[in-house]
Structure 1
Amino acid sequence: MKTFDHLTVIGLREWIGLPALGVDRIRAKVDSGAKTSALHASEIETFVRDGDTWVRFTAHTGTPRKPRDTLCEARLISYKRVRSSNGQIEERHVIRTPMVLGDQCWEVDFTLTCRKSMRYRVLLGCAAMLDGQLVINPGLRFVQSHPQTERFITG
């Protein structure tokens, strides 16, 4: 049997942080069937800063019972056509931002979309799992410690 000592084990649900967006901690649903990760966002608008296209949006990082909104800005990487779980194709803004999981941090691409009807405000797709060298144990949840975002905040 093969073992993967260099991979980090995660469960189907994990706490992540997005320090560059001002998000210390948010629950994420792990979805190996989705290529790209997704973040619940609204009021999305593009603008130009120093010749680059940026996007300003409200990230909804709380729960339906305890809403928490964060105004965010990030450089726009691209637009992506995504088929949602209900089969509709949607063109989404794509941003790249550092993501913290436990004591690790790496750059992850997130599409911005409305996940208002979803229980989890973040979907962690397989591209982020590959880049972070993660392997899923589907029988577990919240394997990793709370994200240590303070280690990765640059000021």
Structure 2
Amino acid sequence: MVKGKKTIGRTEVIDLPELGLYNIHAKTDTGAETSVLHCEDMEIIKKDGHMYIVAYIRPEEHKAKTLRFTFPVHRERTVKSSFGQSEIRYIFLTKIRMFNELYDIKLSFRNRSSMSYPMLLGRNFITGKFLVDVSKKNLATNLL
């Protein structure tokens, strides 16, 4: 640990308690600016002059049940994928549990069904809090 920074591995198992989602497998991605969570589908709605992101998440991959979440849009930003395609991502704020501590995290939703991990931990979240040891895995596992 360097100057109060905890070390995380190339993958972590995290909780998103405000979404009621636990033991999510996340890939640490220092190349991604924003953290991303998998959703089955999403839409942006406007209500009373405010934008909200509505996302549908299947908490258990092999079950049909999906949960519906609505969050106020914190901001929108244009993101360029590793394939060079630009798209607008809608960012919302929530809490993440790692090392049995809660941290604020800015997240966006995206369909990641073709990816190995349902979540990416990006630079905006990692910077200033954690060091990454790519030779390790699951250093922040929550022991309840």
Which range, TM-score by smaller chain? 0.7 to 0.9
Counterparts of 2:67 and 2:24, CA distance in 1: 12
Per-residue deviation at 1:59?
2.5
* Backbone CA RMSD of aligned residues: 2.2
Q: Structure 1 residue 72 and structure 2 residue 62: aligned?
A: no
Distance 2:8 2:38 in 1: 22
- Does the Cα contact within 8 Å between 1:44 and 1:55 map onto a contact in 2? yes
Report deviation, 1:45: 2.1
Give the equivalent residue in structure 1 for 2:112: 115
Partner SS state of residue 127, structure 2: helix
Q: Shift of residue 51 of structure 1?
A: 5.4
**2:134 is equivalent to residue 146 of structure 1:** no
| Secondary structure, counterpart of 2:39 in structure 1 | strand
Indicate if the aligned counterparts of 2:41 and 2:111 stay in contact, CA closer than 8 A. Answer: no
Q: Which residue of 2 aligns with 1:8?
A: 6
Q: Distance in 2 between matches of 1:105 and 1:33?
A: 23
Q: Which runs of 5+ in 2 are unaligned?
A: none
Residue deviations 1:62-89, cap 9 Å, x none? 45xx357432121111211111122211
TM-score, structure 1 length as denominator? 0.81
**Alpha carbons of structure 1 residues 22 and 82: separation in structure 2 relative to 1, 3 Å:** same
**What SS does the aligned partner of 1:117 have?**
coil
Partner residue in 2 for 1:82: 79
Q: Percent identity?
A: 25
Cα distance change on mapping 1:5 and 1:61 into 2, 3 Å: farther
Give the secondary structure class of the aligned counterpart of 1:15.
Answer: strand
Alignment partner of 1:32 out of 7, 12, 30: 30
CA 1:122 to 1:62, structure 2 compared with 1: closer, same or farther past 3 Å? farther
In 2 relative to 1, CA 50–19 (structure 1 residues): closer, same or farther, beyond 3 Å?
A: farther
**Contact 1:16–1:147 (CA under 8 A) maintained in structure 2:** no
Contact 1:30 1:123 in 2 (8 A): yes
Query: Counterpart amino acid of 1:134?
Result: F
Q: CA separation of 1:102/1:124 partners in 2, compared to 1, >3 Å: closer, same or farther? A: same
Displacement of 1:108 in angstroms is 0.8
Number of positions where the alignment pairs a residue of Structure 1 with one of Structure 2: 143
Q: Which residue of 1 aligns with 2:133?
A: 137
Return closer, same or farther for 1:43/1:147 CA change in 2, 3 Å cut-off.
farther
Q: Which residue in 2 is equivalent to 1:104?
A: 101
Assess, with a 3 A threshold, how the Cα gap between structure 1 residues 69 and 106 changes in structure 2: closer, same or farther. Answer: same
